Amino acid sequence: MPTIRDVARIAEVSVSTVSLAFSSPGRVSARTLERIRSAAAAVGYVADPLAQSLARGRSRMIGFVVGNVGNPFFGDIRRELENYALEHEHFVLITDSSGKTDRERDLIEHLIGLKIAGLALAPSSFGPDYVKFVESIKVPMVCFDQKVAGIERDFVGSDNFLAGAMLTEHLLQLGHRRIAFIAGPQHMHTASERYRGFVETMASAGVEVNPNYVVDGQFTRSAGYEAAMRLLIQPERPTAILGANNAVALAALQAMQELGFSCPDDISLAMIDNVQWSSVITPRITMVVQDTLQLGNIIARRLLHRITDPDANSEPPQDFVLAPKFVPGNSCRRI
Amino acid sequence: MPTIRDVARIAEVSVSTVSLAFSSPGRVSARTLERIRSAAAAVGYVADPLAQSLARGRSRMIGFVVGNVGNPFFGDIRRELENYALEHEHFVLITDSSGKTDRERDLIEHLIGLKIAGLALAPSSFGPDYVKFVESIKVPMVCFDQKVAGIERDFVGSDNFLAGAMLTEHLLQLGHRRIAFIAGPQHMHTASERYRGFVETMASAGVEVNPNYVVDGQFTRSAGYEAAMRLLIQPERPTAILGANNAVALAALQAMQELGFSCPDDISLAMIDNVQWSSVITPRITMVVQDTLQLGNIIARRLLHRITDPDANSEPPQDFVLAPKFVPGNSCRRI
DNA sequence: CGACTTTATCGAACCGGTTCGATGGCCATC
DNA sequence: GATGGCCATCGAACCGGTTCGATAAAGTCG
């Protein structure tokens, strides 16, 4: 690999001039620039990004940290960010914390060690220690998905209250009153907001929520399955189940199938968030989906803005909250 | 951030001794080691990975390059690699080429610029230029999923011929003779092997393959959908469809549903490769799945072996081919 | 006890860039 | 024609580590 000194020797200029020629070509005379360029081309010189990062104290890499890169929700966002970053000559490093806070912390520290230019983070936790940690990160960053109280950073996400409210309203319109809710972990903002959307919409309609109809599915498949089973073995079963995310809702569908209940004939089902191949799942589940492309786009623009605009770090953090979209299926029956 | 010179000053030793103390503690006297350690702890010294990589000419990072990190197949492999790498103090950088060869090339070059210790690559292409490029990569590497003719590297994958043969045999056993095959791109090793498994098993059973029953689904959802439609509008429809991967098979299921055919009553369906939430798709599709955990494990061990063992690069490349597993569903009817 | 090996430590060069203050040539101004 | 400002270029220091040959002290052997 040729180095900058090789180029300098061939072009018969100093090393610093070569460096200058590449970083700000305007400040080098046309003749010298030409000599340097052809010398570089002759030996196939490419600047070593590692050495550049070390000297500059920052790289052109962006860290992307989520709990599960396999989740299509994050996948769409990632793709948007990658494409936008590439247009601005930045490079996305994807990492996966598996939802573990410790690992997330390690990953972020490692990325900062790599002198990343920016960070897109889907927070995996909450609480004072966590907030303190995130606040200690000096790198330009955008948080998304999970709004964490106390973190004063740009945030991009969906209106989860509305998501819960829309589906509840839909079920009420169809005549359902015995509506069950499989909730997520209440310390998560998305989960508590979705739940609040459910509860308040029920209250507005004057329908009482049966405490036995609210179960905790932890946003996971296994807990969702157990929670659904608890709902389905009750003597007075709900007529509709609202899953706070895709995993618990599909787990509920599986539980119904295994117990021999038909959806929607016996029990209606609705869920928040899309899932891959939802169109071939029978029945097609009525759902509210997030505009992942738009979310990804906003995250990308905001982050690149903070990275490239020198006086952007004086701008106060801002929240971007998008409305989700209702996608009717055939999993909800009128009663 | 404290540097190695701060530590040296406080511990009253030279910089090189501090460096030595961390890289090979055995070569420093116990008393000095202690002084250095407490000095480092006092100021919270952590070595800068960037500077280390620059000086050493290699980092402790492993590149993971695939066409679609959202694919659960790659997700399982990635997780295994991450866990194993972490145990050996290595760190996985995930990148996604979106299946584009140009981008894959850029990503790999960028990773090499980062002086990665090793590379796990799911090749996205084939042909002389591609082979030449991959062969030019000096970093320890393991290829997986797609076997590319001409690339002399470790390879880890499944027996795709067997996968095609197993499902074909299963359908034949159930009495099917009019079996259709939605193929993948024939230049891909996985696709051609699966197809070969189908054709040769049919031949062994003395059953002729109707040319109209072999269509190209490109391994994608959209092409698979069109291919399935071409099958379903024929006057003499097949009694069973074998999808060469999950995308084309599920696209076929969707096509059947849209045309009002029942699976398996009207047409049986089988596929190669699992899909997330396959248990809630009705009917549960009979399939042959790859042992992703085992694949990931072998990839991880092999790669780390090549990275850590100094004389591993003299070992010849080796192929690891695993047998896939048959998972019965209820999408295939006896006729 | 002197010669030889081993051990602990150090200084300097190096990895491959960036950056800033200094230098000298050139042109415009009064 | 001396003064001042601008422009192109350079040298040296720096980013934060690693590594190797040198050196001096300590240990081993006959």
Min Cα–Cα distance to chain A from B108, Å? 12
If we measure between CA atoms, which residue out of B113, B115, B79, B73 comes closest to residue B94?
A: B79
Residue nearest to nucleotide D16 (CA to C1'): B51
- How much is the pLDDT for A283? 92
Percent of chain A with pLDDT over 90: 94
Tell me the chain B residues in contact with residue A98 when contact means C-beta distances shorter than 8 Å: 79, 82
Helix, strand, or coil (residue B322): strand
Tell me the chain A residues in contact with residue B69 when contact means C-beta distances shorter than 8 Å: 69-70, 75, 78, 94
- How much is the pLDDT for A253? 96
Percent of chain B with pLDDT over 90: 94
Chain C nucleotides with an atom closer than 7 Å to a protein C-beta: 7-12, 14-20
| Nearest nucleotide over every DNA/RNA strand to the A3 CA, judged by C1' | C16
**pLDDT band with cut points at 50, 70 and 90 for residue A198:** very high
- How much is the pLDDT for B95? 94
Min Cα–Cα distance to chain A from B273, Å? 14
The span from the CA of B138 to the CA of B141, in Å, is 8
pLDDT averaged over chain B?
A: 95
Mean per-residue pLDDT for A134-152? 96
Mean per-residue pLDDT for B170-197? 96
Tokens of B74: 């790659």
Gap between the terminal Cα atoms of chain A: 73
Q: How many residues does chain A have?
A: 335
Mean per-residue pLDDT for B190-206? 97
Percent of chain B with pLDDT over 70: 100
- How much is the pLDDT for B210? 96
The span from the CA of A128 to the CA of A150, in Å, is 8
Interchain pair A114, B50: CB under 8 A: yes
- How much is the pLDDT for B90? 95
Residue A310 pLDDT > 80 = no
Beta bridge partners of A181: A214, A242
- How much is the pLDDT for A249? 97
- How much is the pLDDT for B314? 84
Tell me the chain A residues in contact with residue B281 when contact means C-beta distances shorter than 8 Å: 277, 280-282
A27-80 residue pLDDT tens: 999 999 999 999 999 999 999 999 999 999 999 999 999 999 988 899 999 999
The amino acid occupying position B304 is L
Residue A195 pLDDT > 80 = yes
Give the H/E segment covering residue A320.
Answer: strand A319-322
- What DSSP letter does each residue of A63-107 carry, written as one string? EEEES-TTSHHHHHHHHHHHHHHHHTT-EEEEEE-TT-HHHHHHH
Q: Residue B54, CB, less than 7 Å from strand D?
A: yes
Q: Using the CB atoms, write b or e for B174-188: b if 16+ within 10 Å.
A: bebebbbbbbbbeeb
Question: If you count residue pairs, one on A and one on B, with CB atoms under 8 Å apart, how many are there?
Answer: 97
Which chain B residues 53-92 have CB under 7 A to strand C?
A: 54-55, 57
Min Cα–Cα distance to chain B from A95, Å? 6
Residue A309 pLDDT > 90 = no
Residue B38 pLDDT > 90 = yes
Does the model's pTM come out above 0.85?
Answer: yes
- How much is the pLDDT for B310? 75
Q: Residue B93, CB, less than 7 Å from strand D?
A: no
Picking from A290-299, B172-181, B312-321, which range would have the lowest pLDDT averaged per residue?
Answer: B312-321
Residue nearest to nucleotide D10 (CA to C1'): A14
The span from the CA of A74 to the CA of A273, in Å, is 12
A227 CA to D2 C1' in angstroms comes to 93
